Amino acid sequence: MKNLPMDLLRTFTTINDLGGFTQAGDLLGRSQPAISLQIKRLEEMLEVALFNRVGGLKLTEEGEILYSYARKILEMNDTVCSRLSTPSLSGSVRLGTPNDFEVSFLPVLLSKFSRAYPDVTLDVRSDVSINLRKEYKKGTYDFVMTMDEYPNHEYAKDDFIIEPLSWAVGPTFSLPQDQPVPLVLYPKGCIYRQHITQALNKANIPWRVLYCSSSLLGIKSAIKAGLGISALSLNTMPKSLVPEHGFEHLPALGQVTIGFNYDRNNLSPAAALLLDHLRNGLKQNQGYPSAFNLMPD
């Protein structure tokens, strides 16, 4: 019976998640030739081709089968290592997150954390970032994940990533001629809304708010139905929407920072561990939404 080395499986899944050998090497701290040799070794062990390199890097049928199992194997491995290498933790953590992360980025990481530390209770609530920061200062949360302006923000060094904003468009949407741009927006105070309206105003392009919702599900449904367009960061873009950095004649939307507000001196051991878990996950998957199980259609 063959035993598949864990490091080869991790390299394999990382290549597929990030879309390339070079990107995987950058994340894993290995050169591109070293990554290629690992995949060659894995293919020789299994006696199958895992990637089809014609017309872009895609998994073969055998590669798809291995990928589904490899993710489960690695998840079990990481959970066991976390449970056995870290003292048992208990308690509760109050976490605040932006609305659009509650159904895309965070569930994957929070699920892994909960399996590793089942005695820690997570109390997670979502809101727009401006409200999260206000409530954090009142003591409502142990720490909050928020979105802020780039480069003007208050996050400490290494506590944030920079994300480009993209127009979010339905698959069949086209801008109406000689009419204001129809917008689907979060309520006032949302940084996406601010970037959208400022960019359109600066370009002297008329607009109107056609639909407003505090829920990503509502935003996504309205865009998919063709009511209008909006903007999201790449890490929160649902699969059913089309990311367009430059949609028709509309202006670019710039970048935002995504980071954490906390006081390390006042964090419980469980909260500190969750913070580090989320910080690492956010940085490792910066700009790579395919690495997450994003919201389904």
The predicted structure's pLDDT at residue 104: 63
User: What tens digit of pLDDT does each residue of 176-194 get?
Assistant: 888 999 999 998 888 899 9
φ and ψ at residue 50, rounded to 5 degrees = -100, -30
Tell me which of 85, 111, 139 is where a domain ends. Answer: 85
The predicted structure's pLDDT at residue 23: 84
Nearest residue to 206 (alpha-carbon basis) of 186, 227, 164, 176: 176
The predicted structure's pLDDT at residue 264: 85
Asked if residue 250 is part of any domain, the answer here is yes
Domain range spanning residue 127?
91-159+257-291
Tell me which of 32, 57, 85 is where a domain ends. Answer: 85
Is there a cis peptide before residue 118, judged by omega within 30 degrees of 0?
no
User: Is the pLDDT reported for residue 286 higher than 60?
Assistant: no
Report CA-CA distances (Å) from 280 to 72, 120, 250: 20, 19, 34
Q: Are residues 189 and 232 in the same domain?
A: yes
Beta-carbon contacts of 217 under 8 Å, excluding residues fewer than 6 positions away, are: 103, 295
User: What tens digit of pLDDT does each residue of 101-154 get?
Assistant: 776 667 878 888 888 888 899 999 988 888 999 999 999 999 999 988 877 767
User: Is the pLDDT reported for residue 293 higher than 70?
Assistant: no
User: What tens digit of pLDDT does each residue of 46-74 get?
Assistant: 999 999 877 778 899 999 999 999 988 98
Burial (CB count <10 Å: 0-12, 13-18, 19+), residue 9: buried
DSSP string, 211-240: EE-SSHHHHHHHHHTTS-BEEEEGGG--TT
3-state secondary structure of 16: helix
Torsion from C-alpha of 255, 261, 265, 268, nearest 10 degrees: -120
Q: Are residues 146 and 27 in the same domain?
A: no
User: What tens digit of pLDDT does each residue of 251-278 get?
Assistant: 988 888 888 989 988 999 999 989 988 8
Beta-bridge mates of residue 257: 148, 162
The predicted structure's pLDDT at residue 65: 92
Q: Sort strands 51-52 and 242-244 into parallel, antiparallel or unpaired.
A: unpaired
Q: How many structural domains does the chain have?
A: 3
User: What tens digit of pLDDT does each residue of 7-27 get?
Assistant: 999 999 989 888 888 888 887
Nearest residue to 95 (alpha-carbon basis) of 277, 284, 289, 246: 277
Q: Are residues 124 and 252 in the same domain?
A: no
User: What tens digit of pLDDT does each residue of 79-103 get?
Assistant: 787 767 666 678 899 999 988 777 6
The pTM (predicted TM-score) of the whole model is 0.66
The predicted structure's pLDDT at residue 103: 67
Q: Are residues 95 and 132 in the same domain?
A: yes
**246: which 2 tokens?**
């430059």
